[in-house]
């Protein structure tokens, strides 16, 4: 459980600052994309809403203080638009990673338009169709989690199937949240294996079904965390279910992939690749 109140301790790794004149979402997303490349822990400090000179100077002081305390210069990811504030921030004794100077300014020139930050317009994302589609996709995916509803499956962009705890739910929610896809998910359960038939409500939608499988060993480990010692979690039962599920998917001609050593981001990327989505990003 994260601890919100304890101040950062010295052994928590290099200090990383995310400095923004807004909420800091962009600075953080960008910083995380870079930091995930390093197998280290970082001590993160968010400095959002740095929108005047006084706050910029305060940020400089805080970064310099971290340098003094750590004995190592902090990494500073920043998305300050105003050149004056950016110049103040760059006085801090940190390693500066400036998203705007590096990428957004050249891209403004290339595209021949100003970025929404630069023109200082409050970007009310909640007005956009894309945003509302994402929220709608989250609601759809929740309502169609774990086979809860067979209604309106024709509206689904994708239907994930697989044994219980093969990763369907987090993958569905991730695809809905990040890509605005309406993803239903449907468990393959012992009753299906006994009948030896793929769940019939789904057969009409074969084109948009994608299977997740998982190694029986990993599945037993995950299930044991919830229901230790149960038949449900036993390696023998997991072997049986995975084996039957794979056989059933193969017989029905359904594409699948293994979630065993993949993160939800990786599973999502592979499914999207498979679906050859060419929809616009925003």
Residue ranges in 114-173 that form contacts with a copy of itself under rule CB under 8 A? 115-117, 122-127, 131, 135, 138-139, 142, 145, 155, 157, 169-170, 173
Instruction: Enumerate residues 3-42 that contact a copy of itself by CB under 8 A.
Output: 3-8, 12-14, 16, 23-26, 28-42
Instruction: Enumerate residues 39-68 that contact a copy of itself by CB under 8 A.
Output: 39-46, 48-49
We find the least distance from the C-beta atom of residue 9 to a copy of itself, in angstroms, to be: 9
Residue 162 pairs in a beta bridge with: 187
Q: Does 242 bind a copy of itself (CB under 8 A)?
A: no
**Which backbone phi and psi does 187 adopt, to 5 degrees?**
-80, 145
C-alpha distances in Å from residue 9, one per residue of 62, 150, 269: 15, 50, 36
Q: In what order do the strands lie in the sheet with 183-187?
A: 183-187, 158-162, 209-213, 256-258
Q: Which is nearer to a copy of itself, 106 or 201 (CB)?
A: 106
We find the least distance from the C-beta atom of residue 104 to a copy of itself, in angstroms, to be: 5
- Contact partners, residue 21, CB within 8 Å, separation at least 6: 49, 50, 51, 79, 80, 81, 82, 85, 117
Q: Which is nearer to a copy of itself, 54 or 130 (CB)?
A: 130
First to last CA, the chain: 34
Q: Which is nearer to a copy of itself, 37 or 200 (CB)?
A: 37
State how beta strands 95-98 and 75-79 pair.
Answer: parallel
**CA separation for the pair 211, 192 (Å, rounded):** 15
Q: Does 107 bind a copy of itself (CB under 8 A)?
A: yes
Q: Does 227 bind a copy of itself (CB under 8 A)?
A: no
Q: Which is nearer to a copy of itself, 158 or 245 (CB)?
A: 158
């Amino acid at each position: 459980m994260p601890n919100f109140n304890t101040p950062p301790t010295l052994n928590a790794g290099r200090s990383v600052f995310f400095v923004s004149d807004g909420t800091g979402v962009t600075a953080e997303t960008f910083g995380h994309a870079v930091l995930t490349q390093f197998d280290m822990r970082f001590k993160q400090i968010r400095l959002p809403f740095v929108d005047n000179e006084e706050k910029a100077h305060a940020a400089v002081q805080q970064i310099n203080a971290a340098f003094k305390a750590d004995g190592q210069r902090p990494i500073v990811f920043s998305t300050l638009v105003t050149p004056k504030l950016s110049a103040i921030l760059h006085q801090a004794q940190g390693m500066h990673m400036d998203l705007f100077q590096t990428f957004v300014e050249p891209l403004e020139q290339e595209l021949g338009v100003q970025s929404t930050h630069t023109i200082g317009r409050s970007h009310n994302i909640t007005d956009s169709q894309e945003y509302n589609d994402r929220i709608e996709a989250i609601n759809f995916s929740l309502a169609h989690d774990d086979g809860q509803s067979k209604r309106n499956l024709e509206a689904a962009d994708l239907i994930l199937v697989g044994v219980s705890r093969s990763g369907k739910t987090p993958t569905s929610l991730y695809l809905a949240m990040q890509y605005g896809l309406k993803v239903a998910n449907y468990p393959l359960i012992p009753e299906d294996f006994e009948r030896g038939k793929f769940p019939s409500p789904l057969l009409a939608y074969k084109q948009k079904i994608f299977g997740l499988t998982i190694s029986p060993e990993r599945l037993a480990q995950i299930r044991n965390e919830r229901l230790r010692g149960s038949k449900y979690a036993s390696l023998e039962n997991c072997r049986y279910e995975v084996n039957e599920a794979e056989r059933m998917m193969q017989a029905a001609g359904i594409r699948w992939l293994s979630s065993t050593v993949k993160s939800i981001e990786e599973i999502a990327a592979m499914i999207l690749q498979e679906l050859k989505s060419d929809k616009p990003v925003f």
